[in-house]
Amino acid sequence: MTIVRPGEFKDLLKLKKLATEMYERSVYADRCTVDLHEFRSICFHALSNHGRTTCLFVAEEKGEVVGFIVGTLDRVFHIAKEFLATDIFFFVGEEASARSASKLLDAFTKWGESSEGVIEVYVGVSGAIGNPERISKMYERKGYRRDGLMLVKEVGRE
């Protein structure tokens, strides 16, 4: 059974392990150096401000943290008075059940919808980890719609 709850500072060690797994499974594993100190800093900030300008939810199964989502509020176009809630990280580990991602998304969506001044809850899908089409279908089942397109140009590779 999956339990989704607000993250706690005691989760930081497991979150760092999941971040390492996320990085190792990504297209960036052979191109970038992960900075776990920076990841911890982002999580620390999200935990310190959870429920206000940021959120960090974890999925727990059998007492183990198996996934997480970190979100933040950002001004629309960075200059509007209104906000959008957007995800920064969204990852479930290999050992997580199929319901973990769905339940994490539900918690994030609820947080965004209930945040003052928010007019959109925005999630991104990239090809960095996993199958973007499969992930998009989960979002669409939850009421999200496609909006735009993400394009990438690699630089610094020979």
pLDDT in tens, 87-124: 999 999 998 998 999 999 999 999 999 999 999 999 99
pLDDT tens digits for 21-55?
999 999 999 999 999 999 999 999 999 999 999 99
- Could you give the strand order of the β-sheet that contains 64-75, starting from the edge strand earlier in sequence? 2-6, 54-61, 64-75, 83-92, 118-122
Which pTM was predicted?
0.94
Task: Indicate whether 133 pLDDT > 70.
Answer: yes
Tokens of 58: 């974890």
Whole-number Å distance between alpha carbons of 90 and 105? 9
Whole-number Å distance between alpha carbons of 7 and 46? 9
pLDDT at 128: 86
Q: Rg of the chain's alpha carbons, rounded to an integer?
A: 16
With a CB cutoff of 8 Å and minimum separation 6, the contacts of 90 are: 68, 69, 70, 101, 104, 105, 108, 123
Task: Indicate whether 127 pLDDT > 90.
Answer: no
State the chain's mean pLDDT as an integer.
94
pLDDT at 131: 83
Whole-number Å distance between alpha carbons of 90 and 43? 12
Chain position carrying tokens 């999580």: 43
- Class of the CATH-defined domain 2-141: alpha beta
Residue 37: C-alpha distances to residues 15, 16, 43, 73 (Å): 12, 9, 10, 22
